[in-house]
Every structure is written in C-alpha cells, then in structure tokens.
Amino acid sequence: MNVLSAEPTSECNPGIGRALPRSVAFWVVAATAAMVPAASSAPSPLYPVYQAEFRFSALVLTLIFAVYVFALMASLLTVGRLSDYVGRRVVLAGALVVEAGAMALFLVADGVTSLLIARIVQGIATGAAIGALGAYLLDLQPTDGSRLGSLLNSVAPTIGLGIGATITGVLVQYAPDPTRLIFAILTALFVLLALTTIVLPETVKRVNGAVASLRPQIAVPPRARRSFAGAVPIMVSTWALGGLVLSAGGSLLAVVLGQSNHAVVGLVIGLFPFSAATAALLARELSPPSMSRVGGVALAVGTGLFLLALETSSIAVFVVASLIAGGGFGSGFLGALRSVTQLAEPQERAALLSAVYVVSYLAFSVPALVAGVLATNIGLLNTSLGYGGVVALIAVGTLAVERLRSGSD
C-alpha cells in the first residue's frame, strides 16, 4: 500500500476567525520547543530531594530518568511522523495536553511509583511533541535563506533544558513546597500553550496514511543516509554526556563536590545546556562539517576537564568543564542536525527528525541507566569517571575519523 505524506500549505486553520501571522507563530512554536525540554530537566535538581524523601537508590534514580527516555522513544517511533499526515497543529495540541497531565502527576507524586508514572506520561508527551515542533519550525522559518528553523531546532531545546534546571534549583532552595511549586507553574503553562495552538497556522494538508504512519519506523531518506551515518558518533557523544549531567549531575555536585545549595546545583547543571545554546548561536554561520569538528574538539576538552574536576573535587573546574563541554554539545549537534535536515523534503522532515532524536535519546538514556547499575557496585565517582572516559574516547575517535575522511577526499 502506498502511504501518502503531507504537503506544505500556507493555508490557515479552518474554523477560526484569524490565525497568527507566520512570523509570530514561528516564535510561539520556538518558545514551545524550549518549554517542553524545560519540563524534562525540571526534576534534575530535585533528584537528591526525592532520594532523601522517598529513600531510593542510585539505580532507582537512573531508572526514573531512563523510563522517561524510553517512553519518549516509543512515542517518537509511533507518532513521530503523525503530523506529516494529520497536521502539525492537532498533534502539538494533543501533546501539550498530555504534557500538562504529566506535570499534574508530578504535582501529586508521593513515592517512586508515582514518579515513574509521571515520567512515562511525560516521555509520551515529549516524544509526540518533538517531531511536530521540529517540523513546524522548519515549515514556518523565514524564506530568506537564514536556516533559522534548523538553528532553533538545536538552540531552543538546549535553552529549555537550562531554564528548567536553573529555575527548579532556585525554587527548591528558596521557595515553599519545593517538590510541587515548579510543577504547578508548568501545569498552568502547558494548558496555556495548548490553548495557543488554536491560533497557529497549519502548514501541511491532511492526507491519507495516518494510521499506517503509526507503525514503528525510523525513516531516513535515501539521499540523507550517508550524512546521517556520519553524524551518529557526534550525536552519541554529545547526548551521552548530557545524560550524565542531567541524571547524575545533582548527585555528583552534592556527594562528590560537597555542594548542598540547590540553587547552585540547578545553576551548574543549567550551565551545560545554556553553553550549548550559546555555542550553536555563535557557530551558526559555519558549515555543518566545521560545526561538527569544533563541537568534537570542545566536547573532548570539556569531558577531560570534567574528569579532572571529579578527581580533584573542584567545583570551579566542574563549572569550566560544563561550559566547554556544553559548547561542544551545541555546535556539534547543530552541525549533525543541519547536515541531515538540509537533505529532507518538507514531507520527510518529521520522520527524519524522529530518527535523529531516537539515536540521540538512546545515547542520552542507555549509558545513564548502565551507570546507575554500576554505581551501586563501584560507586558514583568511579562510575562517572569511566562514563566520562568513554565519552571522551568517542569524541576523539570521531575527530580522527573525520580527519582521515577529509584527507582522503
């Protein structure tokens, strides 16, 4: 059976008096693309609090982190392409409603089981939103050749990750009811964003094939497969280090580096994604291969400093490592993202972005889960040192392969 894909359209939504101008809608979608990952990083500074309150081990902590990512990937593999068929707006609206539900579940969480359920629901919502938001940004981006959509596909989520961790850390340290206030705010925000989708312009026409698109499938267009394969190592190394920072960063800062101020913990965790966003902005005019090379160098150096910080118990070195490694994440991932998305037609964008994020989130979650198992046997410090060493080796290996490839061309 032939499966039809959505076609781009400039028509606005039927049934409303007036849709937002495309330029305004673009920034609304960009803000939404930042807030979804902000919600995903919000629990990071709370993990030590949850551990003390609910008395669970490092393994359970990484399981709470990992189930979110596995649910996200399952959602990506099933509904990641749905917006290509039924439209961006309806998929995004549904994802934001489910996201609001997940925040409400965090709000009433009273133990490990409820945290696991909340993270699973959040993963489903985030996975549904990622494909639609990424494609929406590419659809609505200015037609002046600025490639702003691909830039914000990289920058907005990383800014969001930093915002979520930083604000949560401040609220935990200084606000009342620290495990609930942030989720009350996020619940209201996602309800508001879901309502905002009513006035977004639709950018694709509804076509046949929606049910067939729900079959789990990673869709990389043939002409993009070589670039995609070449981008996998940088995706893996960047997101693997991000997984360590966001899953175990709070515990490392508290246990290994002796930092007990939750606001400082949230800020230091947030430095990694904030630096990533800044680097992506600064590197946006470079070619995709150059961005990947710069990112690989910064990631290798930053990871080396990260290992030094843990060995010397230096929070100052840890901060520098977060800034440099975060810069490597931002420029490296943007280079990888741009190298593959520029080869996709509009009707292929959601599926290709889903494939990118499946690889990225596997790297984000599986090593962190393995680290959680190892931490119960060899300790958090030794596990983190080994984890960082593997990330550094992948980054250096990627640079070596890229140099050999460029030398043979």
Check pLDDT > 70 for residue 18: no
pLDDT for res 256 = 85
pLDDT for res 355 = 82
Check pLDDT > 50 for residue 61: yes
Check pLDDT > 50 for residue 308: yes
pLDDT for res 5 = 38
pLDDT for res 244 = 84
Report the pLDDT averaged over residues 86-106.
95
Please, which pLDDT band fits residue 403 given cuts at 50, 70 and 90?
confident
Please, which pLDDT band fits residue 299 given cuts at 50, 70 and 90?
very high
Q: What percent of the chain has pLDDT over 70?
A: 92
Q: Select from 232, 233, 227 the least CA-distant residue to 339.
A: 227
- Tell which wins on pLDDT, 221 or 170: 170
Please, which pLDDT band fits residue 27 given cuts at 50, 70 and 90?
very high
Check pLDDT > 70 for residue 319: yes
pLDDT for res 325 = 94
Report the pLDDT averaged over residues 224-241.
87
Domains and CATH numbers, the chain: 22-408 (1.20.1250.20)
Task: Work out the number of other CB atoms within 10 angstroms of the CB of residue 152.
Answer: 26
DSSP string covering 150-189: HHHHHHHHHHHHHHHHHHHHHHHHHSSSHHHHHHHHHHHH
pLDDT for res 217 = 64
Check pLDDT > 60 for residue 298: yes
Check pLDDT > 80 for residue 150: no
Check pLDDT > 70 for residue 381: yes
Check pLDDT > 80 for residue 261: yes
| pTM, 2 dp | 0.79
- Torsion over CA: 76, 77, 81, 86 (sign): negative
Q: What percent of the chain has pLDDT over 90?
A: 35
Rounded to whole angstroms, the Cα distance separating 244 from 372 reads: 10
Please, which pLDDT band fits residue 16 given cuts at 50, 70 and 90?
very low
**Residues linked to residue 8 through DSSP beta bridges, in sequence order:** 204
Please, which pLDDT band fits residue 184 given cuts at 50, 70 and 90?
very high
Alpha helices in 313-348 (DSSP H): 315-341
Please, which pLDDT band fits residue 36 given cuts at 50, 70 and 90?
very high
Check pLDDT > 60 for residue 10: no
- Mean pLDDT over all residues of the chain? 85
Q: Select from 306, 322, 313, 309 the least CA-distant residue to 390.
A: 306
